[in-house]
Structure 1
Amino acid sequence: MDTMVEASGVSYDPYDAELDVDPYPMFRRLRDEAPLYRNEQYDFYALSRFADVKSASTEWDTYRSGRGSVLEMLKSGVPVPPGFILFEDPPAHDLHRSLLARVFTPRRVAEIEPKVRAFCAATLDPMVAHGGFDFVTDLGAEVPMRTIGMMLGMAEADQVTNRQRVDDGFRQNSEQPAEDRSAWIMAALDPETFGAYIDRRTKNPSDDLMTDLINATYTDTDGVEKHLDKATIMTYVGLLAAAGNETTVRLIGWAGKVLAENPDQRRELAADPSLIPAAIEELLRYEAPSPVQARYVSRDVEHYGVTVPEGSAMLLLTASANRDERVFADPDRFDIHRRTKNQIAFGYGIHFCLGAHLARLEARVALEEVLKRFPEWDVDWDNAVQAHTSTVRGWEKLPVVAS
């Protein structure tokens, strides 16, 4: 394997901010020259082709999430509290996910749409007179924060505090040396923040997700029916509040950039909003907000004639898989009319994103409301700032001006 990597000359550093600006030429080289890649510096392997990433995503017993699905967390051995389903394997994962799925229902998501739309309208209306807005700070960071906050029953001030804490955690992570990027993960989520809400909802139930979680019962592995304990509820809520913010922020930001670069397709969306759901699927394929996932290899496996030993770290390069020319014709072209439905930006298998339907709704509503008021825009590149983290990829600031 090392000989193949050296012969190809390809080198992939997941912490390289310069590479993160446009990783796709590197991903293409990985797919073509080193479909099983080995990085000695950070001690990981990587799979970059669609078929390999999708297959590994389904083989959870071999490619495990229980030690963390972020490379630095997996390497650090940071303990994960129960209920954090992103970092769990069956049977605990299945138990916790099924319980969360029972309260995080399509009905709950559908009910929130009018509130999301009203918030988008209230945010964007004043911006029309200003001649522009920031896709991230004004809209992308606000919509998911407000949405998940409303669903959980959080006060507005606490929604802002929670989002800022998560943002700070991601930002501090990006500024740390790669080997030190582990402690931020649980600190950024800080489930303890929600303890007071749980106490309040226990005494004063309401029609929200927090109350649903408090009232939920499950049959434990010992066959006894139980309620969730407070610590597990805090983990659930922390997961929803963090995961419900970050990836959707990135998705909305990418909509601003990519549609500015494809004005003819943007005009089609403005003229026919029914095209927006398909456009969002293409955005997810074209610029995956969560481009890489880590797994712990639980047994020796073979790829391309090379044995990956038990105990290795394997990166699944979702963003590369979504641009694999073996599956997607002309993959580096953005096309809102692309009919392919098999993009895997939300993952695949048992860890398919539980909030995918909510993210799609938020992005659709946000884009509908933007295009009503701003059918044309250009990015203010002098003031745009790309965010660089090892977990999500997108924009920290993306100001646009009406054109």
Structure 2
Amino acid sequence: MTTSIDSSITYDPYDADICANPYPIFARLREEAPLYYNEQYNFFALSRFDDVERGLGDFETYSSARGNMLEVVNANIEIPSGVFIFEDPPMHRAHRSVLSKVFTPRKMMALEPQIRQFCAQVLDPLVGTERFDFVEDLGAIMPMRVIGMLLGIPVEDQQAVREKGDKKLRHAPGMPTDPTLHNFADGSFFADYINWRASHPSDDLMTELIQAEFEDPDGTVRRLTTDEILIFINILATAGNETTNRVLGWSGKILAEHPDQRRLVREDRSLISPAVEEILRCEPPAHQAARYVTRDVELHGQTVPAGSTMLLLLAAANRDHRAFPPDGDVFDVRRVIDHHLTFGRGIHFCLGASLARLEARVALDEILNRFPEWQVDVDNAQMDSSTVRGWKSLPTIVSR
């Protein structure tokens, strides 16, 4: 069936009301406008699972070389070498190979004892109290402790690192972020760490990045430049903290809204892993991935011209009933999921997916050990204005 891009639907990715609950709009997009065009911000959008998955895997048509956020792609700013999330092959392949040796599932699983310890450090003092904030008490602390440990960033500096990363993702309600904030080459914070580690190697990721050798696309074997290391660390420190923070916040919100599902997980801990996958599917921190369209492409009876910006709506695709029957909007910890698109697909599949899953599983397990029942304090919960959707504060009232 030919579907026109002309539609009465308006999807504004910066609208605060839509951001608070985008799923009714996403449902309409999937059914009425699977190829959508927004004239105000000059982008196309795909919302069905198969379309989004195919787009994520086709880097030759949907390029990341101009960025993966709408405002960055549209600004057409110069992307420095080393921003591997904003690269296409062959340079992306070369840079990613450096990190893929570090972020293996086996190495990430070895971190479980430390992650449990970090959770205990923040949760134990709260036992016996009546309140627990999933974000301020845990989400804003534990993920940064983990990525700080991996990078070798002292605990006393980790709060400043988190605040710096957060600033890159913030925007005023109803407004795009400033694309100039996404300057991963900014050396004002991490340059001193890199210089110190160069002459004082340690057992951390920063030292591994300094010492790693890889093959450039031209066949030259070399080490990362200081600027490339700086970019890598900026990306890892930001992504490794903020997205997991969001997942923990959504865990608290969703399981409070589904107490029967929460009790199933509490009583049968083998359901923790599928529960985390279902939380990731239903509430992905990143709702969309932007791409630059390199050539004319036919979609749903229409031509998307080369030079366009395409939004691949991950959050809409994750609730498509075609991929998650019978109803993708239903949260079910017993749902059998082959795969979702929260971590992307193809060459840009999230390097930190194994770590994020581990942190979420451990955190949920430790929370249920101490706080088996909770309700969200809705009047005091605050959503954040950010590129990654989630909670600034999610206070809960706990009971045993």
* TM-score between the two structures when normalised by the length of structure 1: 0.95
Give distance in 1, aligned partners of 2:77 and 2:107. Answer: 33
Distance in 2 of aligned mates of 1:106 and 1:263: 31
Could you tell me which of 377, 381, 386 is aligned with 2:378? 381
In structure 2, which of residues 342, 348, 351 is the aligned counterpart of residue 354 of structure 1? 351
Matches of 1:251 and 1:346, distance apart in 2? 12
Aligned residues of 2:91 and 2:216 also touching (Cα < 8 A): no
In structure 2, what is the equivalent of residue 240 of structure 1? 236
Residue 9 of structure 1 corresponds to which residue in structure 2?
8
Q: Give the equivalent residue in structure 2 for 1:136.
A: 135
Question: Paired residue for 2:267?
Answer: 271
2: CA distance, partners of 1:174 / 1:248: 22
Aligned to 1:257: 253
Instruction: Tell me which amino acid in the other structure corresponds to 1:372.
Output: N
Alignment of 1:38-53 (within 5 A): 38-53=37-52
1:277-356 alignment to 2 at 5 Å?
277-329=273-325, 330-356=327-353
> What is the CA distance between 1:341 and its match in structure 2?
2.1
| Cα offset, 1:192, TM superposition | 4.0
CA distance in 1, matches of 2:120, 2:212: 35
Runs of 4+ in 1 over 4 A off after TM superposition: none
SS at match of 1:4: coil
Q: Which has the higher helix share?
A: 1
What amino acid sits opposite 1:265 in the alignment?
Q
Q: CA separation in 1, counterparts of 2:220 and 2:164?
A: 37
Contact 1:192–1:234, Cα closer than 8 Å, also in 2: no
Letter in 1 for 2:317: A
Give the secondary structure class of the aligned counterpart of 2:183.
helix
1:181 aligns with 2:214: no
The whole-number CA distance in structure 1 between the counterparts of 2:17 and 2:318 is 21
State the shift of 1:104 in Å: 2.6
What is aligned with 1:97? 96
Describe the SS at the equivalent of 1:99: helix
For residue 5 of structure 1, report the CA deviation from its aligned partner. Answer: 4.4
Could you tell me which amino acid in structure 2 is paired with residue 287 of structure 1?
E
Match of 2:64 in 1: 65
Report the Cα distance in structure 1 between the residues aligned to 2:68 and 2:229, rounded to whole angstroms: 21
Q: Secondary structure at the match of 1:125?
A: helix
Q: Which segment drifts farther, 53-62 or 195-204?
A: 195-204
After TM superposition, give the deviation of residue 108 of structure 1 in Å. 3.3
Q: Does 1:196 align with 2:218?
A: no
Partners of 1:260 and 1:176 lie apart in 2 by 28
Is the CA contact (8 Å cut-off) linking 1:103 and 1:213 kept in structure 2?
A: no
* Cα offset, 1:34, TM superposition: 0.5
Provide the residue aligned with 1:366 in structure 2. Answer: 363
C-alpha separation between the residues in 2 aligned to 1:166 and 1:17? Answer: 22
Name 2:53's counterpart in structure 1: 54
What is the CA–CA distance in structure 1 between the aligned matches of 2:111 and 2:193, rounded to whole Å?
20
CA deviation profile, 1:137-173 (whole Å, cap 9, x unmatched): 11112111110000111001221101011223333x2
The match for 2:22 is 23
What secondary structure sits across from 1:41 in the alignment?
A: coil
- Distance in 1 between the 2:302 and 2:260 partners? 46
What SS does the aligned partner of 1:81 have?
coil
Equivalent-residue separation in structure 1 for 2:91 and 2:21 (angstroms): 37
Q: Pick which of 314-323 and 132-141 moved more.
A: 132-141
Give the Å deviation of 1:392: 1.1
Deviations 1:60-86 (A, max 9, x none): 010000000000001112222212111
Aligned equivalents of 1:191 and 1:345: distance in 2? 30
Give the distance between the partners of 1:174 and 1:252, measured in 2 at CA: 23
Q: In the aligned structure 2, how far is the partner of 1:183 from the partner of 1:219?
A: 30
- Deviation string 1:342-384 (CA, Å, 9 cap, x unpaired) is 2111000110000000000100111111000000000011110
Deviates more, 1:124-133 or 1:24-33: 124-133
Q: Distance in 2 between matches of 1:160 and 1:40?
A: 40
For the residue of structure 2 that corresponds to 1:302, the secondary structure is strand
Q: CA deviation at 1:113?
A: 1.6
- For the 8 Å contact 1:127–1:133, the answer to whether it is kept is yes
3-state SS of paired residue (1:284): helix
* Mapped partners of 1:162, 1:124: distance in 2: 22
For residues 26 and 268 of structure 1, do their structure 2 counterparts lie closer, same or farther at Cα, with a shift above 3 Å needed? same
Displacement of 1:282: 0.5
AA aligned opposite 1:235: I
Q: What SS does the aligned partner of 2:306 have?
A: coil
| 2:218 matched residue in structure 1 | 222
Aligned to 2:148: 149
Aligned partners of 2:5 and 2:302 also within 8 Å: no
RMSD: 1.6
Distance 1:382 1:55 in 2: 41
Report the AA paired with residue 177 of structure 1. M
Distance of 1:5 and 1:202 partners within structure 2: 54
Maintained 8 Å contact 2:212/2:223: yes
- Gaps spanning 5+ residues in structure 1: where? none
The equivalent residue for 1:401 is: 397
Is the alpha carbon distance of 1:18 and 1:176 closer, same or farther for their aligned partners in structure 2, counting shifts above 3 Å? closer
Amino acid at match of 1:155: P
Which amino acid in structure 2 is aligned with residue 365 of structure 1? V
Question: Structure 2 stretches of 5 or more lacking a match?
Answer: none
| CA drift at 1:47 | 0.3
List per-residue Cα deviations over 1:36-74 (Å, max 9, x = no partner).
001111000000000000001111010000000000001
